[in-house]
């Protein structure tokens, strides 16, 4: 077994070094994937496990997707797997998805690619006969390895395995060429650092900073959806702060999100946001809320004799965050989950708050958002550091009261009321419209003062009394 490149002695040393590693990953390759490779090889084609799956196997991670690179052309792949094609995911670009058992496997012909004019797909594809040529088109060395598990042969022309050991991300070949092919790779450079907790090669980052300064429009060619997905993965990685700091250093952050331009000019504020992201649970809406929660501070900053203040920064931040999330084409539901946290993150956190006030707070944001707000406040405290112990004690006491409320309380939203809008219209003779909503809010406020009032009988009696008052009113 020989790897590609190097002299005979170097290849021998690499063989000795790699043999145990390959044997460790072989049992973790699903039988369905092995079967795809075996069938292609039985027909005389080359076939290798490639991409993120191989990288993750060597790192001891569970792969999410399985990719096989082959010398077989797309039509030949179809002939090898008649009746087992799940979908033609990209036949024009050489990819056919095969379903063997329960696992879909993307089978792609060795290829060389042209430029990515649209920032998403190559303008042209040429099919190749060499796996090395195929690996040379890939983005980073840790993704540019190929394994023939049947022959136990690793092809590693760009020393990706060594970079895995050194925990470093660097491009295959010239960084400038890789980024000009697909500008999204600049974001992926940082996404992999966040997800794998690797460091980025200094030369690659230098080129990113140069590209960002000389041609900031390059990323504009990339679709907002692709940018969004990279940022989602980056923010929910194990080391998001490391990657975000790289985006700040290179200027990529303000190109992607110009709303952050005044924030990066305040290093203390920027560092606080990054620390909050690192401290909060790795759920997408929570990480985004942590990243955006103080976005409105620069616009609301004032200084007087008592110090620096940011009055209304949560409302200003909500507006900026809404523009950013819409530009990245997040769903309406996801956007609202984030915005309610940005809008309410300065919620009163007083353990001595009355039960009625607690109920009203819960009603404004809902059960789920209330728990998320507590988590955001916890991360905010951790990231602030100032008066940590006192703030933590207050939050803990407040959280205990909230948790007790959520366990015991039956009425936290309008839908928890024992009557609905149809009942209101029937008793008061109202047509559908805003007035029905106002009456429902009135009922909710009345019940919030005493949850025992939430029975159908008492609420209907309340409505009947309201009707009588209206009828007897001289107006």
**Residue 192, domain CATH:** 1.10.110.30
Same domain as 359, residue 343: yes
Q: Is residue 1 part of a domain?
A: no
Tally Cβ neighbours within 10 Å of residue 347: 18
Compute the C-alpha angle 80/45/154, nearest 5°.
125
Same domain as 158, residue 91: yes
Which two three-digit tokens encode residue 258?
Answer: 């110009």
CATH number of the domain bearing residue 120: 3.30.460.10
Same domain as 239, residue 109: no
How many distinct structural domains can be found in the chain? 4
Q: Is 224:328 a contact under the CB 8 Å cutoff?
A: yes
Model pTM score: 0.81
Coil/strand/helix, residue 227 = helix
Compute the C-alpha angle 456/457/463, nearest 5°.
85
Q: Is residue 136 part of a domain?
A: yes
Q: Is 125:137 a contact under the CB 8 Å cutoff?
A: no
The domain boundary, picked from 166, 197, 222, lies at 166
Q: Is 199:163 a contact under the CB 8 Å cutoff?
A: no
Same domain as 42, residue 143: yes
Same domain as 134, residue 110: yes
Please name every residue paired with 68 in a beta bridge, in sequence order, or none if there are none. 49, 107
Strand ranges in 181-306 using DSSP code E only, listed in sequence order: 199-200, 302-304
The domain boundary, picked from 251, 285, 309, lies at 251
Same domain as 379, residue 345: yes
Same domain as 26, residue 161: yes
Same domain as 190, residue 95: no
Same domain as 190, residue 268: no
Please name every residue paired with 89 in a beta bridge, in sequence order, or none if there are none. none
Q: Is residue 3 part of a domain?
A: no
Same domain as 236, residue 371: no
The phi and psi torsions of 107 (rounded to 5 degrees) equal: -105, 120
CA atoms within 13 A on the CB side of 453: 14
The whole domain housing 55 covers 8-166
Q: Is residue 128 part of a domain?
A: yes
CA atoms within 13 A on the CB side of 325: 26
Which DSSP string corresponds to 412-456? SSGGGSSS-HHHHHHHHTPPSSHHHHHHHHHHHHHHHH-GGG-SH
Closest CA to 310 of 293, 323, 285: 293
Q: Is residue 343 part of a domain?
A: yes
Q: Is residue 451 part of a domain?
A: yes
The domain boundary, picked from 375, 409, 443, lies at 409
Q: Is residue 178 part of a domain?
A: yes
Q: Is 300:318 a contact under the CB 8 Å cutoff?
A: no
Same domain as 242, residue 266: no
Q: Is residue 135 part of a domain?
A: yes
Closest CA to 382 of 289, 282, 295, 278: 278
| Residue pLDDT tens, the chain, 475 long | 333 334 444 444 443 434 447 888 898 999 999 999 999 999 999 999 999 999 999 999 999 899 999 999 988 998 898 877 655 555 566 788 888 778 899 999 988 755 555 545 555 456 667 899 999 989 999 999 999 999 999 999 999 999 999 999 999 999 999 998 899 999 999 999 999 999 999 999 999 999 999 988 888 889 999 999 999 999 999 999 999 999 999 999 999 999 999 999 999 999 999 999 999 999 999 999 999 999 999 999 998 888 888 999 999 999 999 999 999 999 999 999 999 999 999 988 888 888 777 777 877 787 788 889 999 999 999 998 766 777 878 888 888 887 777 776 666 677 788 899 999 999 999 999 999 989 988 888 888 788 888 899 999 999 999 888 887 776 5
Same domain as 236, residue 347: no
């Amino acid at each position: 077994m020989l790897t590609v490149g190097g002299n005979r002695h170097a290849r021998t040393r690499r063989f000795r070094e790699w043999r145990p590693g390959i044997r460790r990953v072989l049992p973790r390759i699903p039988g369905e994937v092995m079967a795809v490779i075996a069938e292609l090889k039985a027909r005389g084609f080359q076939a290798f496990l490639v991409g993120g799956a191989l990288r993750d196997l060597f790192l001891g991670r569970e792969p999410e997707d399985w990719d096989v690179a082959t010398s077989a052309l797309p039509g030949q792949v179809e002939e090898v797997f008649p009746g087992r094609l799940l979908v033609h995911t990209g036949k024009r670009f050489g990819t056919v998805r095969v379903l063997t058992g329960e696992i879909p496997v993307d089978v792609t012909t060795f290829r060389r690619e042209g430029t990515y004019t649209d920032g998403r797909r190559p303008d042209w594809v040429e099919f190749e006969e060499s796996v090395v040529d195929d690996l040379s088109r890939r983005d980073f060395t840790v993704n540019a390895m190929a394994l023939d598990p049947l022959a136990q042969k690793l092809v590693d022309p760009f020393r990706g395995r060594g970079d895995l050991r050194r925990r470093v991300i660097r491009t295959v070949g010239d960084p400038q060429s890789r980024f000009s092919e697909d500008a999204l790779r600049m974001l992926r450079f940082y996404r992999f650092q966040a997800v794998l907790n690797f460091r980025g090669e200094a030369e690659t980052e230098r080129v990113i900073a140069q590209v960002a300064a000389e041609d900031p429009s390059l990323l504009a060619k990339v679709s907002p959806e692709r940018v969004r997905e990279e940022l989602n993965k980056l923010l929910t990685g194990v080391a998001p702060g490391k990657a975000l700091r790289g985006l700040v250093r290179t200027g990529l952050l303000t190109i992607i999100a110009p709303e952050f331009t005044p924030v990066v000019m305040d290093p203390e504020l920027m560092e606080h946001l990054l620390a909050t992201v690192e401290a909060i649970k790795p759920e997408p809406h929570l990480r985004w809320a942590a990243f955006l929660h103080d976005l409105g501070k620069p616009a609301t900053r004032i200084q007087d004799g008592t110090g620096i203040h940011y009055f209304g920064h949560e409302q200003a931040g909500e507006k900026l965050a809404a523009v950013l999330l819409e530009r990245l084409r997040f769903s309406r539901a996801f956007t609202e989950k984030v915005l309610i946290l940005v809008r309410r993150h300065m919620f009163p956190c007083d353990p001595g708050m009355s039960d009625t006030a607690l109920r009203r707070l819960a009603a404004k944001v809902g059960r789920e958002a209330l728990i998320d707000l507590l988590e955001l406040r916890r991360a905010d405290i951790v990231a602030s550091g100032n008066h940590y112990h006192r703030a933590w004690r207050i939050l803990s006491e407040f959280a205990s009261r909230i948790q007790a409320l959520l366990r015991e309380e039956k009425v936290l939203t309008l839908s928890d009321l024992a009557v609905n809008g149809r009942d209101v219209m029937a008793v008061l003779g109202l047509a559908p419209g805003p007035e029905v909503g106002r009456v429902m809010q009135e009922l909710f406020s009345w019940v919030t003062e005493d949850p025992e009032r939430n029975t159908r009988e008492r609420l209907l009696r309340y409505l009947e009394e309201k009707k009588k008052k209206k009828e007897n009113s001289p107006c």
